[in-house]
Structure 1
């Protein structure tokens, strides 16, 4: 555990991307199997210890520490694992017997305990390790490392450690399970590359840079709509079909209707959507509901018959990576598009269709078309270089995303809560509202992004000096501060008191100049709802 805790501390307090990569690579080269594999699983979010939840940790600390002290400390620190690690008292009598406290041994012990015995097992382990190791153990147990490392960065560190291509690591990753020993054996030259041709494995997505300014020549770039669902990869091999999200998560169980309908061997890239009113079909491709409808099905481990009926899912296809076992990723976009157009007619038309290209004479004509697009499910425009191969990650000059201009509304701050991680000492998460016809403020959204560090400090002071009520960690504030909120779209929602829900709300401006009474009305936002 000591080496893993040192790695976690190093990653948490290091900002430099290259320094983080070096820390990961050094750890992986120096650490034996299976510890390094489990460490990678923890860093990438693939380690699951279901017997330990935050409630278990709170209960254990409550048995040993004054609950008022814990509550005040947790509120100040903003992190359960860090608070518990610092407050956990050393045992009056040291635990009997020696234990293997390697990372893999600790994980095996927690996994073998089951829910009933897990609290006692965790307490025994906490009694045997240092404060730093306690913190790492608790982070490991809850699966919330928050070390400033994305899954992609961790895999890049592994690739750097052994001189591999990160896309090769990514592709193999999803066909293996922790602690990934075949991957490390291949990385160190002790075995051949794992063979996964008969498994439906994930391949890295090709991503786009934002088109902030400037233009592109439509002779070199094809334009198509950017749909507002979730990007998915459909993979079929060895008689099995899998759906993967952009991060490589297997979401097949949430969309069994789509998986069952995909019978073409290969790997396709597309946007997962929910069917809308068929009468809404138009030149855009249409017949797709807003993201709010898709959200009803996201994250479900089991999908009811009513859910399948009321929210029928389908995929609007963008690209083809593999046709059968033929890898097309090195081919130019024009050839892959031709192959995709030949594949789509073979698929179930109720579950799959083709993302339509936009016919525009030049970039200025495209600008006008984009400005007029307010379809429920359109997020903007994609621009794809016609000769571009399909490569994982973002490559300059190949693909651009050109999102439609956001909507804005002036909203009044109603509640504030402390953030997490580096923002745990600041009130940085805000609930805001607009005025109803009766003159009441109704919450319309929450946001925490879009402000500078200086603005964050100013708003934190405002919250502390203008608190009118407290509800646990939440503070209700005087209704006098106005934010201009930018959002991509707004939808009707029966789950919210205001009857609406914003899509991707973020703080555009802090309106110190605007009186709260002049903020927008809920009815104004309802008229924008799609």
Structure 2
């Protein structure tokens, strides 16, 4: 536990991600395999079923310290973290003997679910006696299921990749499988399996060439194919060696988040890799990206989740067919291959995608010369047929500059973020890198917004991952945009410094700031939002520049923002 405590402290003070990866690598390399397995269990945000709540922990504190409940609440208002408050209130000089993480889990945490209430209290009290204050905080979070590491999962997977020499994507895929922590499992995690690993590894995601300006009228080259690009998750659907997987552009496996897509990909011929966008789809128009993000937050999507947030995998390119890499082939050839694969898939889906079998039929009845059909076929209500989870992008040819500009101008009407363009003959198109997708976006709108609050990375007091900006509605500032960490490090450090110097109110990982900082924010579209007092949310909001010399009264109003679209 001392090593885990030291790791947490080092991650909280880490200057950059490279240092965090090095700390994680050192920690996982030095501890025994069984401890590493349980550490990964908690690092992956998994929870033990302890059947122990916060009320029981408070009762232990009350019985030992004689503090009434209102004293504990008052202390917690100052500390802002209940597990830490309870650890500080417990009177003990623990930490005098070292106990390993696996021993702590096996002897103290796992048995809790089968203990009586009195036995739970005694077990937890004994564990607290052995641990230091910082270790008790970690223990309390493991009991309550709120343990969070001050590092993103991608950094943990990168550390494991450096330890094992296995690609990070393979480590990520192995960790989403159903596993139980043990020394044997951890050894299998870091041991290569070339045959399976090759089948599951995604191809390289070629970055889009993003631009807000289409090629000039005089320079336009005919023969450009384009399709509307929607706000979603860029992903690859892979079918190799009878194994189906989905990978995001960030090399995150999405099998458990989108089981209906896995079912669709399983009908592809083996040796096929398709690239496309996972988009929340409803009534022929894609809702905001946040609807897709809801699916990512669910560990395993249930049937209710699938029905409430339907998605589509819109295919715009093919990378492999019959195990042959086609990424260097002209798009005209890939377009033909892609259509053939999707036509074959549509046929397979029509047969196997929604099976409608007659139940309750005795085959022996059909051997009789005369029978009553009503006794053979049971009348049942028709089952709802689920729509195909995959579809091919609707490409259109732009033979002149006016047709491209016209399509770009109606992107917002189609709820599209822009146009995905690819020359049929890449050598004849000088305005994009050869054989790479070009994403043309309509001219963005801009607004003057005020910084309202920031969200910390869990477990880190100085690193912020999300900032909320607001505009005027009547006489108050209301949130209209959220800026995530997809920006330059310099911009986020500047915002983080302002938040640390001008805090107004702190609650958990959220920190409200004094409304003094104004930024010019660009955005592509506006969506309605029932969660915001403003009633709107800016889509793809990005930082442009900090505005100085103006007061917050000169910030944009909600009505002004609505008038821009």
What TM-score, normalized to structure 2?
A: 0.65
Q: Is the 8 A contact 1:183 1:193 kept in 2?
A: no
Aligned residues: 490
45-54 or 513-522: which moved more? 45-54
Farther-moved stretch of structure 1 (492-501 vs 179-188): 179-188
Larger Rg: 2
Cα distance change on mapping 1:241 and 1:137 into 2, 3 Å: same
> Match for 1:342 among 336, 340, 343?
340
The whole-number CA distance in structure 1 between the counterparts of 2:425 and 2:161 is 28
| Separation in 2, partners of 1:362, 1:137 | 66
Could you report, residue by residue, the CA deviation over 1:247-290 in whole angstroms, capped at 9, with x for unpaired residues? 67676676555455453255544322233554xxxxxxxx5444
1:354 aligned residue = 392
User: What corresponds to 1:407 in structure 2?
Assistant: 445
CA distance in 1, matches of 2:477, 2:189: 60
Contact 1:484 1:511 in 2 (8 A): yes
Contact kept in structure 2, 1:316 and 1:353, CA below 8 Å: yes
Q: 1:271 aligns to what? A: 277
- What SS is found at the alignment partner of 1:34? helix
Alignment of 1:292-331 (within 5 A): 294=292, 299=297, 301-304=301-304, 308=307, 312-320=310-318, 327-328=323-324
Partner of 2:161: 159
Over 3 Å counting, the alpha-carbon distance change for 1:2 and 1:329 in structure 2 is farther
Shift, 1:9, TM fit: 3.2
1:49 alignment partner, SS class: coil
The answer to whether 1:104 aligns with 2:102 is yes
Q: CA deviation at 1:128?
A: 1.5
1:353: Cα distance to partner? Answer: 1.8
- The verdict on how the C-alpha distance between 1:32 and 1:115 changes in structure 2, with shifts beyond 3 A counting, is same
2:172 and 2:252 in contact (8 A); partners too: no
The answer on whether the counterparts of 2:35 and 2:100 sit within 8 Å (CA) in structure 1 is yes
- Which segment is superposed worse, 110-119 or 152-161? 110-119
Residue 393 of structure 1 is matched in structure 2 by none
CA drift of 1:314 comes to 1.7
Hey, what's the Cα distance between the residues in 2 that align with 1:58 and 1:417? 31
Deviation of 1:35 after TM superposition, in Å, equals: 2.0
Q: Is the 8 A contact 1:62 1:70 kept in 2?
A: no
Distance in 2 (CA, whole Å) between partners of 1:330 and 1:115 is: 56
Q: 1:39 deviation in Å?
A: 2.5
> Which of 170, 173, 184 in structure 1 is aligned with 2:187?
184
Distance in 1 between residues matched to 2:33 and 2:240, nearest whole Å: 30
Aligned to 1:489: 525
Matched with 1:48 is 47
Q: Which residue of 1 aligns with 2:76?
A: 71
| CA offsets 1:45-92 (integer angstroms, 9 cap, x no match) | 2533354899579847964674256334424xxx6666655x253438
- In the TM superposition, what whole-angstrom CA distance separates every residue of 1:427-456 from its partner, at most 9, and x where no partner exists? 9954624224xx665543455767555555
How big is the shift at 1:229? 1.6
Q: Aligned-pair distance for 1:304?
A: 3.9
* Residue 228 (str. 1) matches residue 235 (str. 2): no
The CA deviation string for residues 483-510 of structure 1, in whole angstroms up to 9 with x for no partner, is 5444343212344443323335455455
8 Å CA contact 1:319–1:340 kept in 2: the answer is yes
- Conserved 8 A contact 1:235-1:265: no
Alignment of 1:82-481 (within 5 A): 85=87, 87-91=88-92, 101-108=99-106, 109-114=108-113, 120=121, 121-138=123-140, 142=145, 144-148=147-151, 150-175=152-177, 177-179=179-181, 181=184, 184-185=187-188, 187=190, 193=193, 196=196, 203=202, 206=205, 208=207, 211=210, 226-234=229-237, 258-262=261-265, 263-266=267-270, 268-278=274-284, 287-291=285-289, 294=292, 299=297, 301-304=301-304, 308=307, 312-320=310-318, 327-328=323-324, 332=328, 334=330, 338-348=336-346, 350-356=388-394, 359=397, 373-380=411-418, 406-411=444-449, 416=453, 419=456, 421-423=459-461, 430=468, 432-436=470-474, 442-446=478-482, 453=493, 456-458=496-498, 464=504
Separation in structure 2 between the aligned mates of residue 311 and residue 229 of structure 1, nearest angstrom: 13
User: How far apart are 1:344 and its partner, in Å?
Assistant: 1.2
Unaligned runs of 5+ in 2: 347-386, 427-434
**Which TM-score applies when normalising by structure 1?**
0.68
The answer to whether residue 501 in structure 2 is matched with residue 500 in structure 1 is: no
Aligned-pair CA distance for 1:129: 1.7
Q: Is the alpha carbon distance of 1:15 and 1:81 closer, same or farther for their aligned partners in structure 2, counting shifts above 3 Å?
A: farther
Preserved contact between residue 38 and residue 102 of structure 2 (Cα < 8 Å): yes
What CA distance in whole angstroms lies between the structure 2 residues aligned with 1:480 and 1:23?
Answer: 37
Counterpart-to-counterpart distance in 2, 1:504 and 1:224 = 19
Tell me if structure 2 keeps the 8 A contact 1:172–1:201: no
- Give the superposed CA RMSD: 5.4
- 1:422 and 1:351, CA in 2 relative to 1: closer, same or farther beyond 3 A? closer
Q: Provide structure 1 residue ranges, at least 5 long, that are not aligned to the other structure.
A: 279-286, 389-396
